[in-house]
């Protein structure tokens, strides 16, 4: 599976952005799909995930209530709607997917097989 992330940009605090991750491959909708982010000098951290085709979603505490992960199977795309953005949300955002990751590992970046190239999100104060 090849992943292509897009939708990043510069936004003021309190604003919104929607990231997209388009995938090749017919099995994408059955995989666990996730978003991670990495700020300068920090480790890559989990943001949100949609577990396999069941649609169950999981979020980091720091984004819960503000971000929403969703998928469009017809378009082979997963989205991250980001509302009420804060300066601390500034990072490069990556989409990831894996066909066989187990639920207890969905927050672990090292467990994902497929990665997009990243898209920069900058939130100004």
The string of pLDDT tens digits covering residues 9-20 is 999 999 999 999
Per-residue pLDDT at 28 = 87
When computed from its CA atoms, the radius of gyration of the chain, rounded to whole angstroms, is 13
Any residues with CB less than 8 A from the CB of 124 and at least 6 apart, and which?
10, 11, 12, 13, 87
Residue 54 has pLDDT above 80, yes or no: no
Residue 82 has pLDDT above 90, yes or no: yes
The string of pLDDT tens digits covering residues 84-124 is 999 999 999 999 999 999 999 999 999 999 999 999 999 99
Residue 25 has pLDDT above 80, yes or no: no
Per-residue pLDDT at 29 = 85
């Amino acid at each position: 599976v090849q992943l292509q992330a897009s939708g990043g940009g510069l936004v003021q605090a309190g604003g919104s952005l929607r990231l997209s991750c388009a995938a090749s491959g017919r099995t994408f909708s059955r995989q666990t799909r996730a978003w991670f982010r990495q700020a300068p000098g920090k480790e890559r951290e989990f943001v949100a995930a949609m577990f396999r085709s069941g649609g169950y979603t999981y979020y980091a505490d720091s984004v819960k209530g503000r971000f929403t992960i969703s998928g469009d199977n017809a378009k082979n795309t997963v989205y991250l709607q980001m509302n009420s953005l804060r300066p601390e949300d500034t990072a490069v955002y990556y989409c990831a997917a894996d066909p066989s990751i187990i639920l207890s590992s969905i927050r672990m970046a090292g467990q994902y097989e497929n990665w997009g190239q990243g898209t920069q999100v900058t939130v100004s104060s």
